[in-house]
Amino acid sequence: MKYYNTLIFELSKKDRIGYNIEERKLPEVAIPTHLLRNTKADLPEVSELDVVRHFTNVSQKNFGVENGFYPLGSCTMKYNPKINDELATLPGFANIHPLQPAQTIQGLLKIYYELQHMLSEISGLKAYSLNPFAGAHGELAGLMIIKAYHEKNRDFKRDKIIIPDSAHGTNPASATVCGFETIEIKSNPDGTVNLEALKAVLSDETAGLMLTNPNTAGVFEKDITEIARLVHEAGGLLYYDGANLNALVGKAKPGDMGFDITHINLHKTFSTPHGGGGPGSGPVGVCEKLVEFLPNPVVRKNDQGYYMDQAKDSIGALGLFYGNASVYLRAYVYILTFGQEHLSDIGPMAVLNANYIKDSLKDLFELPIDGHCLHEFVFDGLKDQSTGVKTLDLAKRLLDYGFHAPTVYFPLIFTQSMMIEPTEVESKETLDQFIAVMRKIVKESLETPDLVKTAPHNTIVRRLDEAKAARQPIVKFKDIK
Amino acid sequence: MNVKEGLLYSESHEWVKVEGKNAWIGISDHAQHALGSVVFIELPKIGALFKKGDAMGAVESVKAASDVYTPVSGKILDVNKALEGSPEMLNDDPYGAWIVKLELSNEAELKTLLNAKDYQPLCEE
Amino acid sequence: MHKYLPHTREDIEAMLKVTGASTTDDLFSSIPKKLRLTKPYNIPHQLSDEALTKHMKNLANQNQELIIFRGAGAYDHYTPSIVKAIISRQEFLTSYTPYQPEVAQGTLQYIFEYQTMVCELTGMDVSNASMYDGSTATAEAMFMAHAQTDMDTILVSETMNPRTIDVIKTYAHYRNLKVMIVPMKNGQTDLEAVERLIASKMGLIVQNPNYYGIIEDLCGFADVIHQAGGLFIINSEGQALSLVKTQGEYDADIACGDLQSLGLPLSFGGAYLGYLATKMKYVRKMPGRICGLTTDVDGKRAFVLTLQAREQHIRRAKANSNICSNQSLMALAVTVYLSAMGKEGLIKVANESMKGAHYLYHKLLQTKKFDVLFDQPFFKEFVLKAKFDVNAFEQACLKKGILGPLHLGEGKLLFAVTEKRTIEEMDQLVELVVNLA
């Protein structure tokens, strides 16, 4: 990585251009000036080479999955296959207007329809909508479906959603956005649902329970069948946050566990690129009795072919069109690259990788949860805390060795959380390199702790003053004095 | 953690300094330490009425956001506007940087608060 | 073996030894046996790369690429080659949220540049790092207004894209908020109606240019709304902002909308890019990520996510929004586009769209087969009422490989013209009208 310190605006020179457009011989249009902007937007004036060089240099300040190991827990940083990118952007997909009549988009509607079915088969839920733009958006759709279901049954008292304290922040936030009150229940030490705590809060005001399974500490909810029974008995619905689905691919289906609604993160389990923070895709899936609540439009099939329809009791529209099509096209290609022959290998290899790292390092780190983990696990700081080196320091020191740090300080149920998810794409050699470096860093933590506490040293910038950024926000070029 | 004598404390780590019928309220050294560098404070409106235990404002650090609860019921007479420009005062001088001054509506509530000696153990958790 | 699964049998054996399990199955012992799958999924067979390419090309060929005269929120603009080239760089494409800013300065820098450009286009003080699309960004603008004013009803102009209104209504319904539609007058938002209805409302949302392509005159709206204690929210699409009066110039409080028109391909409706920007005094009510400038321990200029205490991972149930992943890579695409088009190019290309639309408008009127619906200034879309069978017209267009205007009902047709529509193509469309029975 290279430290490049120029903003595109600093390259600007008056009259330089980077465009090549035709100004046609058509009459100019006179619009009353009071309807037009007074000054031009101060955008850069640069040549095309300036643009390309600039963004190439900017890109080199980033670490991507293709640079090295990126074990961000709960993010599933797999390889993003090139063939997915190439095929998803064929002109016959890229140049299609969303409001074209069905007869001119049968290829796209077919993919939408088939992908819905593939996701149904993999997750065990009856029907899907690909419309939600991200995981959190899928959660919102799912919660809206829960509310719509209870409203249809005239069960208006149900305004509470139960969420374990180990849950990702989007869960309670989504509940709030959907007009629910969150009831947080304290988990068992391993992050699993405490049945007594659950029973204590279930009532006729329970709309539903949101769960991730395996949970955010990589542990499977072994009481899931009982949990489902309790929630259903109380009249609530059970929601599955699909962020950790990668562990279950080939091994188990959320639908079989009693979940009524799920969302899946295509940018996690199904390899679509993370893009620096999106675009993702969070398809929402439902059991039989909730099919008619799906967001509109839904894609159906009859003798004439595929068409768009509206679910009878649809929660409504969640976007201008049909979600991030360019993303779910990639997921479709990905699934076909594995097929029924190999898709089921993903879970076992992901879980093997996670256990291998865990068992190779558990002598040096606090392992709060014993036994086999699934696709990710949590270390709660160093076993030897005598030198005061914290998880944050370890994460920063890993950057010096050319690895991206794991997820830190999440889940919140442990104070020094370091959540490691290798995914199935990493070879034993890569894992061995990582393990060796981790062991080295632990040694440094005990012998030369200051080196670790002031890491990173080899990156292009070192620890940042986040307090200054928040106290005096400089959020655009003109704010710089 | 520094626990100042002569003040009353709540279990949610606010301090109260009684002055006749009024009370000055702030957050303890333990609270500011737990938050980290404070970057922003949301102050209540002057004249607002609160009951004991109500959230009357919020404090933000880089990594956390925390409500500030009033340990006693009353009406807000004044807020420390200086904190808006320099929220870090809460870190530098937690017992000097008062947040609100309020007029007590129920002096009996003061008996439910902790003195310095009884509050100290809460800081060790 | 599979090309994305590197484990050899030898690897698996060695690794299992370390874990103490005899088979990979043992590692799943925490999953009750009755829940464990015993057979493969009933999904299609694996396809080789070559077969998969054939398969996708076949499916792509089942979609018709057309000469497009339809807009309504998705516009057929030209995407310069450098956009795809730059967003395909793995450092941008494959990385994730910049939670370790030391190795994510690339992402953070382009977010900062994107935020800057959105503020230039809208005239606002601060932008976030993106929203899903224009419609959801508008719904979240409503949440901001609600959080700021504590009122529970929003006014929405009838001249907005009906699909955007649907999304606003969906979001409002589930959060127990109410939507009241302000009727239009001659194709524009009726200020008198706003004055009548604005009391005790959280604010007003309008779209400019509106659904009918009309450039609205929003002078005087801000005063009326602010006097009533509400917030003024204007939804504008990206390319239009190079020409029309900005949200900032109208003294709006929140700017939102979609930036697909700034170099993002049509792509069957996604991935697009919502934006949300506001005045500094409302920044703490604004959802989404925000990138700020700072220095590192050595004093080097650097970028970092800031004001994170607004977001879901910190506020959880107290958050105002649940947004986490957004449309970051599309924000990069737009930043690249705007850097290349620049101060002058963006105006020129917007002007080409506008010139083309007005050329077509006049040519169509000359056929005497349309009635004028609104006599209002417009940008690149317009509505005309057809005096012929619109369904027959659409089919006639499709036969010639043309995607005609959108039928809004009752013979009203919404046309869109971009810089990509040549004079020949427009004349061809006019010919089709002339030749209609």
- Nearest-Cα residue of chain C relative to residue A361: C18
Residue B79 to residue C353: CA distance in whole angstroms: 55
Q: Which of A256, A255, A263, A257 is nearest to A227 (CA)?
A: A257
C12-21 pLDDT, tens digit each: 999 999 999 9
* CB spacing of B60 vs C318 below 8 angstroms: no
* B115 inside domain: no
> pLDDT digits over C26-66, tens only?
999 999 999 999 999 999 999 999 999 999 999 999 999 99
| CATH number of the structural domain spanning residue B80 | 2.40.50.100
Q: Is A304 on the interface with C (CB under 8 A)?
A: no
> Is B60 close to C309, i.e. CB distance below 8 A?
yes
Is B62's Cβ below 8 Å from some Cβ in C? yes
Tell me the C-alpha distance between A238 and A143, whole Å. 10
Question: How many residue contacts between A and B have a Cβ separation below 8 Å?
Answer: 15
Average pLDDT over every residue of C326-352: 97
Complex ipTM over 0.90: yes
Residue of C304, C322, C327 to mutate when probing chain A, most A C-beta within 10 A: C322
Task: Specify the pLDDT at position B64.
Answer: 80
Residue A351, min C-alpha distance to chain C (Å):
7
Looking at chain A from residue 326 to 365, which residues have their Cβ under 8 Å from any Cβ of chain C?
Answer: 326-327, 333, 335-349, 351-353, 355-356, 358-360
Identify the closest residue of chain C to A122 by CA–CA distance.
C41
Among C12, C37, C290, the residue with its CB nearest the CB of A253 is: C37
Residue C157 has a CB neighbour count (10 Å cut-off) of 27
Q: What is the mean pLDDT of chain C?
A: 96
State percent of chain C over pLDDT 90.
94
Local confidence band at B125 (pLDDT 50, 70, 90 cut-offs): low
Tokens of C183: 């009727």
CB contact under 8 A, B60 and A467: no
List of chain A residues whose C-beta atoms are within 8 Å of the C-beta of residue B62: 466-467, 470
pLDDT 10s digits, C256-312 = 999 999 999 999 999 999 999 999 999 989 999 999 999 999 999 999 999 887 777
DSSP A178-190: TTPEEEEEPPPTT
Q: For A418, list phi and psi in degrees, rounded to 5.
A: -135, 110
Domain for residue B72, yes or no? yes
Length of chain B counted residue by residue: 125
- The whole-number pLDDT of residue C316 equals 79
Residue B24, in any domain of the structure: yes
B63, C309: Cβ pair inside 8 Å?
Answer: yes
pLDDT in tens, A105-134: 999 999 999 999 999 999 999 999 999 999
Q: Is residue B113 in a domain?
A: no
**Contact at CB, B88 and A466, closer than 8 angstroms:** no
* Subunit contact C315:B65, Cβ cutoff 8 A: yes
Record: contact A471-B88, CB cut-off 8 A: yes
* CA B108/CA B98 separation, integer angstroms: 22
**Inter-CA distances, C198 with A403, A410, C161, Å:** 55, 44, 21
In chain C, the residue whose alpha carbon lies closest to the alpha carbon of A16 is: C342
Q: Is residue B43 part of a domain?
A: yes
Q: How far apart are CA A384 and CA A452, in angstroms?
A: 14
Helix (H) or strand (E) holding A162: strand A160-164
Helix H or strand E segment including B77: strand B74-79
Window 372-431 of A, Cβ < 8 Å to C: 372, 374, 395-396, 399, 404-405, 407-408, 410, 424-428
| Chains contacting A (3+ CB pairs below 8 angstroms) | B, C
Phi, psi torsion values for A3, nearest 5 degrees: -80, 115
Strand ranges inside chain B, DSSP E: 8-9, 14-19, 22-27, 38-42, 49-50, 55-61, 65-69, 74-79, 100-104, 114-115
Whether C314 sits inside 8 A of B39 (CB atoms) is: no
Residue in A31, A41, A172 closest to C120 by CB: A41
Helix (H, G, I), strand (E, B) or coil at A399: helix
Show residues of chain B in contact with A470, CB under 8 Å.
Answer: 39-40, 60, 62
Nearest CA in chain A to B87: A471
- Give me the sheet containing C203-207, strands edge to edge: C126-127, C274-278, C254-258, C231-235, C203-207, C153-157, C178-182
Contact, C80 vs C337, CB < 8 A?
Answer: yes
Low-confidence ranges of chain A (pLDDT < 50): none
**Token output for C198:** 């604005």
Contact at CB, A470 and B40, closer than 8 angstroms: yes
A467 touches B at CB < 8 Å: yes
Chain C contact residues (CB < 8 Å to B): 284, 308-310, 314-315, 318
Q: Is residue A271 within 8 Å of residue A84, measured between CB atoms?
A: yes
The answer to whether the Cβ–Cβ distance between C167 and A320 falls below 8 Å is: yes
Asked if A43 and C342 come within 8 Å (Cβ–Cβ), the reply is yes
- For residue A456, whether the previous peptide bond is cis, meaning omega lies within 30 degrees of 0, is yes
Nearest CA in chain C to A344: C40
- Asked, as a colleague might, if the bond just before C44 is cis with ω within 30 of 0, I would say no
CB contact C296 to A (< 8 Å): yes
B34 touches chain C (CB under 8 A): no
Identity of the residue in C105, C316, C322 whose CB atom sits nearest the CB atom of A136: C322
Query: Positive or negative, the Cα torsion across A52, A53, A58, A62?
Result: positive
In a domain, B46, yes or no: yes
Q: DSSP characters for A429-466?
A: HHHHHHHHHHHHHHHHHHHSHHHHHT---SSSS-SB-H
CA distance C291 to chain B (A): 13
In whole angstroms, what is the distance from residue A374 CA to residue A222 CA? 12
Query: Residue A417: its pLDDT value, please?
Result: 94
CB contact under 8 A, B63 and C314: yes
| Cα–Cα distance, A220 to C302 (Å, whole number) | 41
Residue of B nearest to C305 (CA): B62
Beta strand C406-409 with C381-386 is unpaired
Interface contacts B/C by beta carbons within 8 Å: 18
Q: Do A355 and C27 touch (CB under 8 A)?
A: yes
* Residue type at position C245: K
Looking at the domain assignment, is residue B1 inside a domain?
A: no
Question: Which residues constitute the domain of residue B70?
Answer: 8-104
Q: Which chains touch C (3 or more CB pairs under 8 A)?
A: A, B
Domain-located, residue B58: yes
If you average pLDDT over residues C65-92, what whole number do you get? 98
**Count of domains for chain B:** 1
Rounded to a whole number of angstroms, the distance from the CA of A469 to the nearest CA of chain B is 9
- Taking contacts as CB-CB distances below 8 angstroms, the residues of chain A near C313 are 168-170, 410
